[in-house]
Amino acid sequence: MDSQVLSYEADGLQMKSHLYVDTSVSGPRPGVLVFPEAMGLGDHAKEKAQRLAKAGYVALACDLHGEGTIMTDMPAMMALLGELMQAPSRIEARAKAGFDALLGTGLVDSTKVASIGFCFGGTMSLELARGGNEVAGVVGFHSGLGTARPDAAKNIKGKVLVLIGADDPGIGPDARQAFETEMRDGKVDWQMKLYGGVVHSYTNPDADKMGMPDFARYDKSADDRSWAEMLAFFNEIF
């Protein structure tokens, strides 16, 4: 498997994303954008992208904050996310630049591109779709569901799958209901799967290091189940 850093500009930032591809396979194939949790592009998203590459996809683990930055200052990170959530066009711009960079490799069938994301990365994937971009499908793992432009759901061209911990305190019943209403009003082909007893960041083994088990906690069963759901979804859309 080949890996390389893919640099591009987005929202005034120099992004340094990581491309993974099985070079033993020839010809264009489906591509997947992988957007990380809110802290930035770390080992978690890179490992998921590597797994996708081994499964035959061209995978781009996307930088979130520019220069490969990992944010460790929680108040600063939350302030930045708050700004971005009020400016969904900026979120879309960061995601769209990754989309364009992936297509620019020449390795991908442009009609077969999906975008997945974890936590805020799921929000990025959804905003990419809300912008009317040509993504065949979006998958959000413990994904932020809210948007400042719910009417934009009508622009979504692909299918949507969100995989949520039923006990995630950050994505509670009200947020899920608002998302359902948005998807229904936009006439989107959408699915939502809930995992009982599961909270936020359930796909990330490092979540337990936060020391906030009622908010963020790894759950292997939900991790495995959600990955299988994603692969089945890809089989459908591709």
CATH value at residue 34:
3.40.50.1820
What is the rounded CA–CA span in Å between residue 116 and residue 230?
9
pTM for the predicted model, two decimal places: 0.97
Q: Tokens representing 81?
A: 């996310």
Residues 71-116 pLDDT 10s: 999 899 999 999 999 999 999 999 999 999 999 999 999 999 999 9
Q: Which domain holds residue 86?
A: 2-237
The total number of structural domains in the chain stands at 1
Residues 142-162 pLDDT 10s: 999 999 999 999 999 999 999
Asked if residue 118 lies in contact with residue 107, where contact means CB atoms within 8 angstroms, the answer is no
pLDDT for res 53 = 97
Tell me: pLDDT of 25 over 90. no
Dihedral sign of CA atoms 164, 170, 172, 178 in order: negative
Q: Scanning the structure block, which residue is given the tokens 């591009």?
A: 8
What is the rounded CA–CA span in Å between residue 69 and residue 188?
34
